[in-house]
Amino acid sequence: MPAAVAEAAARWLHPDAVKVAVNSASAEAISKTITQVVQVCAEHKKPAKLLRHLVQVQARAGAVRNPPRILVFANRVK
């Protein structure tokens, strides 16, 4: 995992968080097919915005054999 990501994880994740490792030739290898999308909006609009994005991804994929997989990270700071 890239150093910046490891530092962010150390700050934000719970100490008992589960770490998932993917077998890779390099710890810093990132797939070229991964897309990161960041949406900034008001707190009360987040659920609807996330749902809208998921529906759009599903619609673009259509009826494919291997639909895209989505991983959502969420953090609530108070």
| 73, 13 contact by CB (below 8 A) | no
Q: Sign of dihedral through CA atoms 38, 39, 42, 46?
A: negative
Please give the distance of CA 72 from its chain centroid, rounded to a whole number: 4
Of the two residues 24 and 58, the one the predictor is more confident about is 58
Q: What angle do CA 21, 68, 3 make, to 5 degrees?
A: 35
pLDDT at 1: 66
Is 0.75 surpassed by the pTM of this model? no
- What is the rounded CA–CA span in Å between residue 16 and residue 4? 20
